[in-house]
Amino acid sequence: MAFIDLSKNEIQAKIVYYGPGRGGKTTNLLYVHESMSKQVCGKMVTIDTKGDRTLFFDFLPLNIGKVLNMTIRIQLYTVPGQVMYNSTRKLVLRGVDGVVFVADSLRVQKQKNVESLENLFQNLNDEGLGAERIPLVLQYNKRDLIQSNIPLLGLDELQTDLNSDLNVPFFEASAANGQGVYETLREISKRTIKSVIQKVGGELPS
Ligand SMILES: Nc1nc2c(ncn2[C@@H]2O[C@H](COP(=O)(O)OP(=O)(O)OP(=O)(O)O)[C@@H](O)[C@H]2O)c(=O)[nH]1
Ligand SMILES: [Mg+2]
């Protein structure tokens, strides 16, 4: 839930990185954490991992400056992608203001991408969050592997599988080398802040 403190002119919004296990959600946050100025980016907190698998969540706070004279703070979270951690995913989704769905370009993950996107909508609805009101962008990750022999999903196929009904912004990315990471973050931040300001619009002093 966006937190708005009018006495401090401050908006706090929550963006969750969602998607199948091993798709690259944590790697997105790590890239932002390593490359962003420390004035903007706070300390990354990783709660419970096993190897590189997230078992609970990752958290990264950003202080991105001012919009309409309001200080904007954004909190980035990741969920654990493994199917068995659904109750944790629901917990992390509570109060979400925007979602980045990180799809895995590996061909073997084709079905897992679709199932995870369905799981996102199911969980948003179960939690009464109104999926259609939450800004969403898609990220097609691991595009660097195009250079390899590993079978990948083509852009058209990813779009058909995941975005034909949604028709939301999408980004080809490689969280491992940073390609598309900031483009994705910029777009979801823009949409999320806009949506948060619209939601509270009626309550802001004129
Ligand atoms: N080649 C390549 N590997 C990537 C990329 N992004 C992530 N990986 C690798 O994929 C593996 C899984 O990445 P994570 O970021 O841990 O995936 P996750 O989505 O957080 O996974 P869960 O925590 O299990 O949900 C790691 O070994 C990463 O180094 C990418 O863009 N390209
Ligand atoms: Mg993770």
Query: Is the pLDDT reported for residue 68 higher than 60?
Result: yes
Q: Rounded to the nearest whole angstrom, what is the distance from the C-alpha of residue 26 to the centroid of ligand 1? A: 7
| Average pLDDT score over the chain | 93
Which residue, by CA, sits nearest to atom 9 of ligand 1? Answer: 24
Q: Rounded to the nearest whole angstrom, what is the distance from the C-alpha of residue 23 to the centroid of ligand 1? A: 5
Query: Is the pLDDT reported for residue 127 higher than 50?
Result: yes
Query: Is the pLDDT reported for residue 48 higher than 60?
Result: yes
Q: Are strands 53-67 and 45-50 parallel, antiparallel or unpaired?
A: antiparallel
CATH fit for domain 3-201, picks 3.40.50.2300, 3.40.50.720, 3.40.50.300, 3.40.50.1000: 3.40.50.300
Environment of ion ligand 2 (residues, CB < 5 A): 25-26, 54
Q: Rounded to the nearest whole angstrom, what is the distance from the C-alpha of residue 53 to the centroid of ligand 2? A: 5
pLDDT in tens, 78-126: 999 999 999 999 999 999 999 999 999 999 999 999 999 999 999 999 9
Q: Name the percent of the chain lying above pLDDT 70.
A: 96
CA atoms within 13 A on the CB side of 60: 26
Instruction: Give the integer Cα–Cα distance in Å for 158 and 155.
Output: 5
Closest CA to 116 of 77, 161, 149: 161
Biggest alpha carbon–alpha carbon distance for the chain? 59
Each domain of the chain, given as residue ranges in start order, spans 3-201
Burial tier of 34 (Cβ tally within 10 Å: 0-12, 13-18, 19+): exposed
Q: Check if the beta carbon of residue 25 is closer than 8 Å to that of residue 80.
A: no
